[in-house]
Amino acid sequence: MSTEPLLVTKRADGVDATRGTRDRREGIMAFLEKRRPVFNQP
């Protein structure tokens, strides 16, 4: 029995948990701007 489907599901859950957060937005913008992200800012 493969655990791969379970890992894919868990990863998707983690991605969904960050949807709409400031940290997610910061991570995406930092990636696009090719810089290090600064997380946990008020």
If DSSP states are collapsed to H, E and C, what string results for the chain?
CCCHHHHHHHHHHHHHHCCCCHHHHHHHHHHHCCCCCCCCCC
Task: Write down the pLDDT at residue 30.
Answer: 94
Q: Label residues 8-37 b or e (16+ Cβ within 10 Å = b).
A: eeeeeeeeeeeeeeeeeeeeeeeeeeeeee
Task: Write down the pLDDT at residue 12.
Answer: 66
pLDDT by position in tens, the chain (length 42): 677 777 677 766 766 677 778 888 899 999 999 999 999 877
Angle at 27 between CA 23 and CA 30, to 5 degrees: 130
Task: Write down the pLDDT at residue 21.
Answer: 86
- Predicted model pTM: 0.57
Domains of the chain, by residue range, sit at 1-42
